[in-house]
Amino acid sequence: MRPSTAARRSRWALEEVEILSTVCVTGDAFPSTTTVTQRTAEEMDKAAQADTRGKAKRRTWTVGSESWTVRIVDGHAELPEGMPAVPACAFYHWDGQDEGCSSLISVTIPLSVTVIGKFAFCRCPALEEVTIPPSLTTIGTYAFSKCPALKAVMIPPSVSAIGYKAFEGCVAQLGAALKVETRTWTVDSESWTVRIVNGHAELPEGMPAVPDFAFSDWDGQDEGCSSLKSITIPMSVTTIGNGAFGNCAALKVVTLPPSVTKIGNGAFLNCTALKAATIPPSVNTIGYRAFYNCLELETLTIPSTTSIGDGAIPSMTTVTKLMPEEMDAAAQVHALVARGAGDEVEERTWTVSSKSWSVRIVDGHAELPEGIAAVPKDAFSHWDGQDKGGRGKGCKSLTSVTIPPSVTTIEDGAFNKCKALKAVTIPASVMTIGEFAFRNCEALKDVTIPSTVTTIEYGAFFNCEALRAVTIPSTASVDPRGAFHDVKTVTKLTPEEMGAAVQGQSKDRHGGCSTEHAMIGGAGVAWAESDRWSASKERAIHRRNL
């Protein structure tokens, strides 16, 4: 095939190349106009450290006791795999002391990184795009401060601390795209960190209960949580505590797992945005005034065997009681969904292993029901229908998806043509990613492929133009015809290396940011303090309401 005009221009635009002296170069490897310089490894290291201020395209940082060389090529920086942290002031000192980095447009951070140090990207005026891995736990103080071109950041659920003014000066550009709040609760003598990102809270797996007054006290005592719109509760939770969601007036969606047996007194008191609720058949107790003053709650379906406390349900609410076996279909969703005039809610029913599963997209986010064994063939590809040739039109509303740990297979074409899909976290239960599973997902920037994946089929990530880098297990079988067309960097790690990268963590509370402290190990990240309180507080439930 004849190269395109752009390709031919790009070839002749290659002015200089620097390679190791041990590399054998054939006569026609580079254009005749290109200057090729071969150097020893020692010479290349010295050259990297001798780059002049303001013109250099590479720097060498020290993280811990090891040196790492980082380059910016055509505005893009790809940090080396294995580096455990982006050091404090890394790009902030690139052009000189406290001057930022004027040439940085985008950056890919590898899976080995757990910490973005304080001031790391401060004053990078051209920075538009950052790919943050699911291994990251900490974003330091002022880390992205004064990055006015930064339009959106996908923060993975692994992040437990975001430092003071980490995104200062990015507010006008980010707007509602980034709003993160963090609290730490104590349940059964163990601490659990909970974040609300863009109005959605996803509680950590393993937490046994939503503690008393958890979100009711989020904004202050009995003031509720004004930012909470939806929440995912894991299968480990058995109890929704007293007043847990009291006065959360913006709450629209709650996913209740079939592990929940008790909804406490005043649990959803004054949650005025709730319009419909389905309680899973596992619930045997609904406490006193659990849904009190939820004036828009039009219908409520509950198990006929459930004990209901006084004033638990508003008098105008239509209550349907069903036997637990009659609730099986509804139990696949377990959602409390507000269908307000401004909401965008879509629903489809799939058949997997001869069983029907209801799936909803609410405000762009799909949460697949726990227990479903696969994301079926063409699931979201056919969401908006098919063309005359039977090809799926994709799902234009889908921007993010949560896949439960019951899923083992993402079947052929499951997310094909979901052009608005930006991020996917694949659980550690998945073993197979089918043909064209994510083909034509043009906005997909962040995908987590766990070490459990053994097969990645042909074209799985074709035409994912925004996906710059992906890490896969070295043990995975990748179709020899290709699975990652257009993905610039595919890194293979052993399952052990992938596990170590995700589990790695660095905690540092030192202050200051000078040149000699521009590393992680002695000085580094300032951690944001979290509010702490105990679920065993002894006081009356919402004194002003009860």
**What is the DSSP annotation of 199-251?**
TEEEPPTT--EE-TTTTTTTTSTT---TT--EEE--TT--EE-TTTTTT-TT-
- pTM > 0.85: no
List strand residue ranges (DSSP E) for 305-399, in order: 307-308, 318-322, 335-337, 345-352, 355-362, 365-367, 374-375
Does 383 share its domain with 279?
no
3-state secondary structure of 184: strand
Residues paired with 183 in a beta bridge: 194, 531
pLDDT at res. 276: 63
Q: What share of the chain is helix, strand, coil (3-state, %, to 5)?
A: 10, 25, 65
Does 339 share its domain with 204?
yes
| Domain-located, residue 208 | yes
Residue 340 has pLDDT above 50, yes or no: no
| Domain-located, residue 26 | no
pLDDT at res. 4: 47
Pick from 41, 78, 37: nearest CA to 58: 78
Q: What is the pLDDT of residues 57-99, one digit of tens each?
A: 788 888 878 888 898 888 888 888 889 999 988 999 888 877 8
Helices (H), 239-372: 328-331
| Domain-located, residue 363 | yes
Does 339 share its domain with 395?
no
Does 294 share its domain with 367?
no
Mean pLDDT of 152-172: 72
Residue 516 has pLDDT above 70, yes or no: no
Does 356 share its domain with 331?
no
pLDDT at res. 54: 37
| Domain-located, residue 329 | yes
Residues paired with 73 in a beta bridge: 76
| Domain-located, residue 372 | yes
Tokens of 439: 């083909």
Query: In the chain, what percentage of residues exceed pLDDT 70?
Result: 78
Pairing of strands 66-73, 76-78: antiparallel
Residue 457 has pLDDT above 50, yes or no: yes
Residue 174 pLDDT level (bands cut at 50, 70, 90): very low
The CATH number of the domain holding residue 443 is 3.80.10
Pairing of strands 446-448, 161-162: unpaired
Better-scored residue on pLDDT, 439 or 202: 439
pLDDT at res. 1: 43
Residue 8 pLDDT level (bands cut at 50, 70, 90): very low
Tokens of 488: 């610039």
Does 422 share its domain with 287?
no
Pick from 497, 462, 464: nearest CA to 478: 462
Domain hosting 403: range is: 350-467
Q: Which of 325, 343, 361 is the endpoint of a domain?
A: 343
Distance CA 465, CA 443 (A): 7
Contact 195, 181 (CB under 8 A): yes
| Domain-located, residue 444 | yes
Residue 512 has pLDDT above 50, yes or no: no
Pairing of strands 299-303, 276-278: parallel
Question: Residue 145 corresponds to which amino acid?
Answer: S
Q: What is the pLDDT of residues 94-150, one digit of tens each?
A: 888 778 898 898 898 888 898 999 899 999 989 888 878 888 888 888 899 888 888
Range in 129-138, 303-312, 502-511 with the lowest mean pLDDT: 502-511
| Domain-located, residue 508 | no
100: left (phi over 0), alpha (psi -120 to 50) or beta: left
Contact 383, 348 (CB under 8 A): yes
The CATH number of the domain holding residue 320 is 3.80.10.10
Residue-averaged pLDDT of the chain: 77
Residue 259 has pLDDT above 70, yes or no: yes
Does 229 share its domain with 245?
yes
Q: Which of 447, 467, 487 is the endpoint of a domain?
A: 467
The helix/strand count (H/E) of the chain reads as: 5, 39
Q: What is the pLDDT of residues 132-143, one digit of tens each?
A: 888 888 888 889
pLDDT at res. 344: 59
Does 206 share its domain with 335?
yes
Range with top average pLDDT, 386-395, 444-453, 518-527: 444-453
Helices (H), 35-148: 41-49
Does 335 share its domain with 364?
no
| Domain-located, residue 141 | no
Edge-first strand order for the sheet with 262-263 is 209-210, 239-240, 262-263, 285-286, 307-308
Distance CA 529, CA 525 (A): 12
With a CB cutoff of 8 Å and minimum separation 6, the contacts of 277 are 291, 297, 299, 300, 301, 336, 337
Does 241 share its domain with 374?
no
Distance CA 48, CA 35 (A): 18
Does 366 share its domain with 450?
yes
Q: What is the pLDDT of residues 418-437, one digit of tens each?
A: 999 988 878 888 999 999 99
Q: What is the pLDDT of residues 369-412, one digit of tens each?
A: 888 889 999 999 989 888 767 778 889 989 888 888 889 999 99
Range in 63-77, 167-181, 428-442, 504-518 with the lowest mean pLDDT: 504-518
Q: Which of 328, 343, 358 is the endpoint of a domain?
A: 343
Domain count, the chain: 2
Cα dist from 501 to 85, 122, 493, 509, 519, whole Å:
11, 25, 10, 22, 19
Q: Indicate the Cα dihedral angle 324, 328, 333, 336, nearest 10°.
A: -30
Residue 196 has pLDDT above 50, yes or no: yes
Contact 449, 473 (CB under 8 A): yes
Residue 198 pLDDT level (bands cut at 50, 70, 90): low
Does 236 share its domain with 304?
yes
